[in-house]
């Protein structure tokens, strides 16, 4: 049978664009459908705009730190609208970059929702197209808890659209999105309260990282409350009234409530039932080659709910294209993937947590820790600490995990991740000469 395209990609986010471009490089006739901005969540409603706001939130501390180094005091105020306008201008530029990428790769772009009519046929608006292979890369979306008053809350998507800075902000959720926005808005001068359901934030991360970040956030001024019962939310003339039960038993008035309680695959209106694709726990079920229950339909990225990180989606997309169109069969490896939390203090990690290592290796685990005040803060006057940790398997001395909380954690862990991916041992770390004076050298001097 003859098809309109060799490959049709649904969703022009990080994974979808990576797959489309790679397949086109192999000579495939490729099209991609996107109803919104190019680049997906990361570029438009996630990593990129959030990181720019992280940078903005650090300036008050830098102004204060400068005085310890001999600079005169700086009096400065935030122009929220100027910051947000600058962020959106950069996003517009990036959308143009992605458009150029598709144009240069000769990938045809359809603007609109793509819906399955059958395993090989899609409908985009009033047009129907067929494809030999179809890749689903529709990503995910933020969800709100089903409690009364949630209609007054916003999600992370809307945080970048606020015309005015909320002076009083309540954040629901202790995952990395809630944690990062709590730190951003606190740094920008908002009064931030964060409510969590567990004793520690960032479930799934190493416990030392969780404790260090939480302590650091509270020291910087984020008010953190652990609650077990959902809050009661009402809209009043003074603002949003949030009533907390349990041991807190208090009422808070805020301007904005951010619901950062999770994300789900964006499968609505996809017509996936018409294609006979299997769904597992709300996500598209795939094998190690990103193939669904239909042999010609594949899926990558957050809609599969495997590991929801932008670089992972990109690698999944390229591995799919290499396998299906490049004659280079390969799969995505999910071990030793570095990740970061751009909180204040910042954190980054790669490999196994201490708990995971002990579960796998029992008592044959040795942990090295270091906690110290970096040289920079000898003069800044701020009480900031760095925490570094190596998790090692004793018999082979293989480094199973590396964890860090503190300034430049992400930049440092990226390099450490290469060593761990290659199977480095503690002896390899010890044999490496440290770069002095630096924070990173502590990873090769821990005893």
Rounded CA gap, 441 and 176, in Å? 27
Given 58, 120, 403, 436, the catalytic residue = 436
Residue 220 known to be catalytic: no
How many whole angstroms from its chain centre is CA 242?
28
Q: What are phi and psi of 47, to 5 degrees?
A: -45, -50
Q: What are phi and psi of 225, to 5 degrees?
A: -125, 135
Q: What are phi and psi of 406, to 5 degrees?
A: 145, 180
- Tokens (6 digits) for 41: 């969540």
Write the CA distances from 183 to 78, 106, 161, 444, integer angstroms: 16, 42, 18, 30
Share in percent of the chain as helix, strand, coil (round to 5): 35, 25, 40
Pick from 274, 239, 243, 269: nearest CA to 254: 239
Taken in order 204, 207, 211, 213, the sign of the CA dihedral is negative
Rounded CA gap, 22 and 28, in Å? 9
Active-site positions read 436
């Amino acid at each position: 049978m003859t098809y309109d395209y060799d490959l049709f990609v649904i969703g022009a986010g990080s994974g979808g664009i990576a797959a489309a471009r790679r397949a086109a490089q192999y000579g495939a006739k490729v099209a991609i459908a996107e109803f919104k901005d190019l680049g997906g969540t990361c570029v438009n409603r996630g990593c990129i705009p959030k990181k720019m706001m992280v940078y903005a939130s650090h300036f008050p501390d830098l102004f204060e730190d400068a005085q310890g180094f001999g600079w005169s005091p700086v009096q400065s105020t935030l122009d929220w609208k100027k910051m947000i306008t600058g962020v959106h201008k950069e996003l517009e530029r990036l959308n143009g970059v992605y458009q150029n990428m598709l144009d240069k790769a000769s990938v045809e772009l359809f603007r609109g929702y793509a819906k399955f009519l059958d395993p090989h046929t899609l409908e985009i608006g009033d047009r129907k197209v067929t494809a030999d292979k179809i890749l689903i890369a529709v990503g995910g979306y933020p969800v709100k808890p089903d409690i009364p008053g949630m209609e007054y809350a916003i999600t992370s998507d809307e945080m970048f659209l606020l015309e005015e800075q909320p002076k009083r902000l309540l954040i629901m959720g202790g995952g990395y999105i809630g944690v990062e926005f709590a730190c951003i808005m606190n740094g920008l001068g908002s009064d931030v309260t964060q409510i969590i359901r567990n004793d520690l934030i960032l479930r799934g991360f190493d416990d030392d990282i969780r404790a260090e970040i939480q302590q650091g956030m509270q020291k910087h001024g984020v008010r953190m409350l652990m609650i077990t019962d959902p809050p009661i939310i009402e809209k009043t003339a003074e603002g949003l009234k949030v009533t907390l039960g349990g041991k807190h038993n208090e009422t808070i008035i805020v301007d904005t409530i951010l619901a950062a309680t999770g994300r789900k695959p964006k499968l609505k209106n996809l017509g996936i039932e018409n294609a006979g694709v299997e769904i597992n726990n709300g996500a598209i079920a795939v094998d190690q080659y990103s193939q669904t229950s239909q042999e010609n339909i594949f899926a990558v990225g957050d809609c599969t709910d495997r590991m929801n990180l932008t670089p992972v989606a990109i690698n999944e997309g390229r591995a799919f294209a290499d396998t299906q169109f490049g004659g280079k069969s390969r799969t995505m490896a999910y071990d030793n993937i570095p990740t970061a939390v751009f909180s204040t203090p910042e954190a980054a990690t790669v490999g196994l947590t201490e708990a995971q290592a002990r579960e796998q290796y029992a008592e044959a685990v040795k942990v090295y820790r270091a906690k110290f005040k970096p040289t920079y803060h000898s003069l800044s006057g701020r009480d900031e600490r760095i925490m570094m940790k190596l998790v090692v398997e004793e018999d082979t001395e293989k480094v199973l995990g590396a964890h860090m909380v503190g300034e430049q954690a992400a930049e440092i862990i990226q390099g450490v991740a290469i060593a761990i991916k290659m199977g480095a041992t503690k002896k390899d770390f010890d044999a490496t000469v440290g770069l002095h004076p630096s924070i990173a050298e502590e990873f090769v001097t821990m005893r």
